[in-house]
Chain A
Amino acid sequence: MNQYDAIVIGAGHNGLTNGAYLAKAGLKVAVLERNPYIGGATVSRELHKGWYYSNCSYVASLLRPEITRDLELPRHGLQVVPFGGGATFMRNGDHLGSYSDHDRHYREIARHSKRDANAYDRYVSDTSRQTKLIRPYLLKTAPDPTSLKPRDLRDLVDFARSFTSMGEEGLLDTIKFWTGSVGDYLNEYFETDVLKAHLAGSGIIGTALGVYSPGTAYVLLHHYMGDVDGNVGAWGFARGGMGAIADALSKAFQSYGGDVICDANVDEIIVRDGQAKGVALKDGTEYHADIVVSNLDPKRTFLDITNPKDLPEDVLQKARNFKIRGSSGKLNIALDGLPIFNGLDPRSRLMAGDLHFSDSLERQERAYDDWKNGTWSKDPYLDMMIPSLTDPTMAPPGKHMMSVFVQYAPPKIEGRDWTDEDKDGFEKSVLDQISNYSPNFRDLILHCETRTPREIEAEVGLTEGNIFMGELTFDQLLFNRPFPGYAQYRGPIKGMYMCSSGTHPGGGVMAAPGANAAREILMDLKRPNTVPGGYADD
């Protein structure tokens, strides 16, 4: 009854993707979910009647098109709809808008600086060059430089070849990108505060680092390497909310015969004689399988649901030291109408994109100072969207749903747990900032869901509320993700695997970790591979 070939812990998008590819290969697979609903952080919930909140992840771009097509996710109901527009509002009443037409965008930047408007083209090609280096590795297992296996050697040679073919300038850029700060990087191109701040946001989202912290340039890249229908860097909404991604993956998984079991809270991975044998739930139920795949973050996987006696000491140590610092919170707001922003026609297309209020790197860095001081940012960086301007299913006609990603929010307040008063203070700092730019905003609020790292960890199970399941810094990327020696999805116990965003290539609703892990498992089982290769990125 409870006997399977493989058990996947956690019905987030990576767990479901992993399950789908294993089931497609003919394995009998169960995906276990602690919550009564699936999705993990890829979820939509109707928390106010008529309004659907994508209450964790809120935009899609990195979801691998190869997986979408291969698992026939559109047939299972998934539609990713790109959005246009976006703007950063300035304290002086002006704004910087984002236009899809190249020359219209030039004119918009030129209002602030002609030189920056022109330099923007150079910035785009330099950044694109860097994304080209990484994109081919998204649907591949990261090669291990300490390994002598032919596959690792071959992939390393390939990587070295594309790396060195960039030339001296390109190499320097690459190193800057992997180690530098987004602030320093942008300072090399631009003179306008608002433009730099507008672009720098992507370098800090989900990361407990400031715009001048080394490592944030890569995070910018991470947000830039996705695509919607081949438009690299474009972002979209899953129609019906992010939960549509999990729902479609779940249907695909079930179409291959997989079982999704909700309300199944895993207590421990069962290990016998060094071999994974299944899982035991907190209610005592057991599910048995020789393959156990954890879609939990590395800390929860090794420090929570695995018995330390079954683990080598170095893994425990690495798990303890794994950086998974909470840095962000989220407000999901039901609005009675469309808010009006100072200086912008409410019919403007810019309204449909990502909206921000931090108009200088200085303000963004100060927001990070608050995090370091153990409190939420008093002048936070917001990544705000009104998805109901693109997707008519998110709110009743004429009403709107607003998703506000908030940076920074520390996992603990001055070393102690968040209280409800702290949460109110956090919420107020966000609402105050939006109100400063929108006179009618407060009056339109019908319902507001506020999530600090405390709520995100408790409801979704992301340690410290870290949205990427581990910082995206070089020491935790590629062959170092989650830790050196364990970056190819295999755990330290025979039959135990990892498939979460805590593994290569990281978070952002890519589904690549889940697919890559499935390919490794099938290889170990000597089964034919069911996971598609990546599209050539040329």
Chain B
Amino acid sequence: MNAPQRDTMLLPTPFHSRVEAMCELNDWGNWMGYTTPNAYFDVELEYFAIRSTTGVFDLSPMNKYRITGPDAEAFLNRMVTRNVSKLGVNRVGYAVWCNDAGEVMDDGTIFRLGEQDFRLCSYQRADDWLHWCTLGFDVTISNESEDIAGLAVQGPTSCTVLKLLGCTDLDQLKPFGIAHFTFEGAPMMVSRTGFTGDLGYEVWVAPAQAEALWDQLFELGRDYLIKPIGSYALDIARIEAGFLQAHVDFVPSEEVVRNGRTRSPFELGLEWLVDFSKPLFNGRAALLAEKARGSRYRFAMLDIEGNKPAEHSFIMKGDKVVGTVTSAAWCPTVKSNLAYAQIEMPHGAVGDQLTAEIYYQRELHWTRLMAPCKVIDGPLFNPKRRRQTPAPPF
């Protein structure tokens, strides 16, 4: 045996054997060092599984941190901009956190599992910052990323399928609620959360249960047209639903090298996540100063004429460049051409009429298109079923 020693650059997730079996396109990507599918069989059809039936996305590579101890709530209140005290047990909250300069480091979700027990799911690895922030707090931080396997189960038939899996009365769970069940004799946690803007859930189990969970879900979900979905389909859904993506719509501040490339929560349209009634949190002083002084940029959601996605476009007011697009997609359900842009103040207020400079190529021929666009005050995709409790039948 003279084979050279082979390092495994990318790791398999706990669902990998099942994911691989279904990944007909063999189109793989790298997410946090794990082999994850970009697409399983057809991006378009995968996207529509989310909107019409059920799409299943393996989110095991997500960074997950357990934060426990008497000061857990106070610690998180110090770290993130929103008020964690208002988050009840078995509730989930979206949050961003900043450095002292009020620059967004990352976004994520906080699961309150008990009075003194939280789980933080973050886009970035956060070990260093979490430990840095513990100074003076009686908390324990543990990285449990590899200890928990997760599936996002999203779409109109998702509740029905999960109820068949044994999630009794799941339809009664409110958005951002958490419920606990048993699967194969082991704990299974289900939260009504997701990255699609649709009715949907995230299911969390120990890696040992992962394959059985996948198998049963797809067996029980067959009559409800359950389909696996890859990251490309999820990306269309998240843009249509109005969700930001770190590294795409903002650069995490710890990674920024060039001056001025960070963004504050205000500049990302996340003012609603900043609670100044908290006496102290990271970045508070800087954000207060920014609020008094005014921000440099405004996050704008653009409804663009025509059907050419405004990828990487400059946004103009008259002849002047006032911003750039960070995410853009033709949204297949609302049939509109949507983009997120960073617009220089004072431009970009809701209703502002701007122009997107769109370049697109057809058969090596480039065309420049100046497409009128309008700043809208929220995503056009916002179905009732996303908010309804009990979750409606499909």
Contact = CB atoms under 8 A, between A and B. Distances in A.
Given A84-B45, A398-B223, A391 B52 contact: yes
B105 to A, nearest CB: 36
A401 B307 CA distance: 34
A248 to B, nearest CB: 11
A230 B52 contact: no
B25 A81 contact: no
B224 A538 contact: no
B335 interface: yes
A429 interface: no
Interface string B149-168: 00000001100000000000
A538 B45 CA distance: 24
Contacts of A239: 52
A230 B309 CA distance: 11
Contacts of B381: 74
B232 interface: no
Contacts of B330: 229-230
A231 B45 CA distance: 12
A68 B335 contact: yes
A231 B44 contact: yes
Interface residues of A, number: 30
Given A392-B52, A535-B307, A538-B362, A229 B224 contact: no
Given A65-B335, A79-B333, A392 B44 contact: no
Nearest to A349: B41
Interface string A317-349: 000000000000000000000000000000001
Given A81-B52, A393-B394, A101 B224 contact: no
A222 B191 CA distance: 47
A151 interface: no
A514 to B, nearest CB: 18
Nearest to A104: B24
A100 B39 CA distance: 13
A535 B306 contact: yes
Interface in A32-77: 65, 68-69, 73-75
Contact of A81 (B51, B307, B334, B336): B51
Contacts of B74: none
B36 interface: no
B346 interface: no
Contacts of A100: 42, 44-45
A536 interface: yes
Interface string A217-244: 0000000000011110010000100000
A230 B394 CA distance: 27
Contacts of B334: 69, 74-75
Contacts of A230: 307, 330
Contacts of A538: 362, 367
A336 to B, nearest CB: 13
A81 B306 contact: no
B53 interface: yes
B225 interface: yes
A390 interface: yes
Contacts of A75: 334, 380
Contacts of B41: 349
Contact of B223 (A390, A391, A397): A397
Contacts of B52: 79, 81, 239, 390-392
Interface string A77-95: 0010111100000000000
Interface in B344-394: 362, 367, 380-381, 394
Contact of B306 (A73, A229, A390, A536): A536
Contacts of A74: 333-335, 380-381
A231 B381 CA distance: 21
A101 B225 contact: no
A82 B48 contact: yes
Contacts of B70: none
A271 to B, nearest CB: 40
A65 B307 contact: yes
A101 B330 CA distance: 21
Interface string B15-26: 000000000010
B48 A81 contact: yes
B332 interface: yes
B26 to A, nearest CB: 11
Given A74-B334, A230-B307, A392-B394, A82 B223 contact: no
B148 to A, nearest CB: 30
B46 to A, nearest CB: 10
Given A81-B51, A391-B52, A535-B306, A69 B394 contact: no
A397 B54 CA distance: 13
B335 A390 contact: no
Given A81-B48, A398-B223, A229 B53 contact: no
Contacts of A349: 41
A84 B335 contact: no
A535 B51 CA distance: 25
Interface in B44-85: 44-45, 48, 51-53
A389 interface: yes
A392 B307 contact: no
Nearest to B306: A535
B154 to A, nearest CB: 14
Contact of A79 (B25, B51, B367): B51
A391 B53 CA distance: 7
Given A392-B394, A538-B367, A69 B335 contact: yes
Nearest to B381: A74
Interface string A519-538: 00000000000000001101
A79 B333 CA distance: 6
A397 B224 contact: yes
B307 A101 contact: no
A83 B44 CA distance: 9
Contacts of B306: 535-536
Contacts of B336: 69
Contacts of B25: 101
Contacts of B224: 392, 397
Contacts of B45: 82-84, 100
A69 B330 CA distance: 12
Given A79-B52, A392-B157, A101 B42 contact: yes
Contacts of A397: 223-224
Contacts of B225: 389-390, 392
Nearest to B307: A535
Interface string A281-292: 000000000000
A337 to B, nearest CB: 10
A65 B394 CA distance: 25
Interface string B223-240: 111000000000000000
Interface string B333-344: 111100000000
A82 to B, nearest CB: 6
A229 B306 CA distance: 12
| Max chain B Cβ within 10 angstroms of own Cβ: one of A69, A392, A398 | A392
A438 B11 CA distance: 44
A180 B225 CA distance: 42
A129 to B, nearest CB: 11
A535 B371 CA distance: 12
Interface string A115-126: 000000000000
A391 B394 CA distance: 10
Nearest to B54: A392
Contacts of B157: 392
Contacts of A82: 44-45, 48
Contact of A229 (B42, B44, B394): B44
Contacts of B333: 74, 79
B356 to A, nearest CB: 15
Given A229-B44, A231-B44, A535-B306, 7 more contacts: A68-B335, A69-B336, A82-B48, A84-B45, A100-B44, A349-B41, A392-B224
6 contacts: A228-B44, A229-B330, A229-B335, A389-B225, A391-B52, A538-B367
Closest 7 CB pairs of A and B: A397-B223, A398-B223, A229-B332, A69-B335, A74-B334, A535-B307, A68-B335
